[in-house]
Structure 1
Amino acid sequence: MNNKQINFNSARFITSAPDITQMPEDTGVEIAFAGRSNAGKSSALNTITQQKSLARISKTPGRTQLINVFELSEGKRLIDLPGYGYAKVPQEMKLKWQAALSVYLQKRESLKGLVVLMDIRHPLKDIDQQLLQWASESQLPVLALLTKCDKLKPGQRNSEVLRVREAVKVFGGDIRVASFSSLKSLGLENAKEVLSAWLLQDDDLAATTDGASA
């Protein structure tokens, strides 16, 4: 296992794409962040990369409908998917985005992991569950981050993590559940560890292959 960790501070904005067809070439490794519009997705990205304004935090949830691409190093990317499920977004737009999201999760070869962000006080809404189902069917590992965990006392926080871990077993697949707080940086190191392992898996495979052929 590669013990190296990615330098997330090096993240830089590359492009915004209206859909998967206009994203960068489907090579290398990327990890996507998805969540309801008020789940704290942008805040989590900024905390993980230690950049205050890498991902813009809109005062109007659901407004941004673009896929934002951030590069960590050559061939390693973080993908900020548009927030979903916000009540003021027209139903037609919701359906269009869900269809595009499904295509991205199932067709994008470089996608090696999915971070699903859910407010710890309101996890597993219908669209969250649909997302977990898509990921499981696509054999895509998931890190479910229960955000804003500083809003709960430690005992409540731990109970909710255990409850969600039990609930997601129905989807099968590789789904890890952890609490996270952008405000207090709770769960930050654990999240970076998981993301690093996903981003470095091709490096590990190449090293193993080179060693076997040496």
Structure 2
Amino acid sequence: MNYQKADFQASYGLSSQLPESDRPEFVFSGRSNVGKSSLINKLCNRKNLARVSATPGKTATINFYTVDGAYFVDLPGYGYAKVSAADRQRWDQLINSYFDAERNCVLLVQLLDSRHAPSADDMQMLEYLRYRKIPFVAALTKADKLKKSEIAKKREEFAFLTEEFGCRQIVLTSSETGFGVDELRSIFESLLSEEV
């Protein structure tokens, strides 16, 4: 998979606008300020492929990126308190319709902040992934902020916590240093080779 061949395709605010699912899709999910855009940028070696929002909770669209022969699908961030009930409802409807459609979702990357226990919204999302039987790995962000001695312990803690929800793997990542990016890429590669 050539990550240099990455382009922003479009943002979709309505389920009816979503493009046809004609290739493998890797989906990114997480809280508003957990670093989804930064991780997508790092995976593709680009600074501004995914635009980092200055205002958390403002991205109420599903953003599609073409990456070689696959899609990276960036779901709108959740759990931001200042979002109105109507926006939250639209968010729910958009996410549900994405997963209700016959989409070729190969894997979802659930981002969690490595420094903190998952929030109530994170737990709700994990429950949703289990309920929908969506295959996922957990990417623990901001790993550069951890002491080296904490890394193995954090991996263990989150593995224990997410196991019951069907998490396949824990990957510690840092969009600052690139830590864990190659590990995530190799997970994508191995799943794509199974697709063929």
Pairing 1:42–2:30 present: no
Counterpart of 1:162 in structure 2 is 156
What is the deviation of 1:92?
3.1
CA distance in 2, matches of 1:19, 1:196: 30
Q: Which of 176, 184, 196 does residue 189 from structure 2 map onto?
A: 196
1:31–1:199 CA contact under 8 A, matched in 2? no
Aligned amino acid, residue 169 of structure 1? E
1:123–1:146 CA contact under 8 A, matched in 2? no
Relative to structure 1, the CA distance from residue 159 to residue 175 in structure 2 (aligned partners, 3 Å threshold; closer, same or farther) is: same
Counterpart of 2:108 in structure 1 is 114
1:37–1:83 CA contact under 8 A, matched in 2? yes
Tell me the TM-score normalized by structure 2. 0.92
SS across alignment from 1:196: helix
Pairing 1:185–2:178 present: yes
What is the deviation of 1:195?
1.7
What is the deviation of 1:27?
2.4
Q: List per-residue Cα deviations over 1:107-160 (Å, max 9, x = no partner).
A: 342111101111111242222222222222333221111100111101222211
SS across alignment from 1:9: coil
SS across alignment from 2:176: coil
What is the deviation of 1:53?
0.2
Q: Which of 28, 48, 55 does residue 53 from structure 1 map onto?
A: 48
Tell me the TM-score normalized by structure 1. 0.84
CA distance in 1, matches of 2:21, 2:86: 28
RMSD of Structure 2 on Structure 1 (CA):
1.7
CA distance in 1, matches of 2:100, 2:170: 22
What is the deviation of 1:46?
0.3
Q: List per-residue Cα deviations over 1:31-80 (Å, max 9, x = no partner).
A: 11111011011100000000100000111111121111111234x11111
Whichever structure has more helix as a proportion of its residues is 1
Aligned amino acid, residue 25 of structure 1? E
CA distance in 2, matches of 1:193, 1:143: 13
Would you identify which runs of 4 or more consecutive aligned residues in structure 1 move more than 4 Å?
none
Pairing 1:15–2:10 present: yes
Aligned amino acid, residue 71 of structure 2? R
Aligned amino acid, residue 189 of structure 1? D
Relative to structure 1, the CA distance from residue 201 to residue 135 in structure 2 (aligned partners, 3 Å threshold; closer, same or farther) is: farther
SS across alignment from 1:54: coil
Structure 1: runs of 5+ lacking an equivalent = 1-5, 204-214
Written as runs of structure 1 = structure 2, the 5 A alignment for 1:7-156 is 7-74=2-69, 76-156=70-150
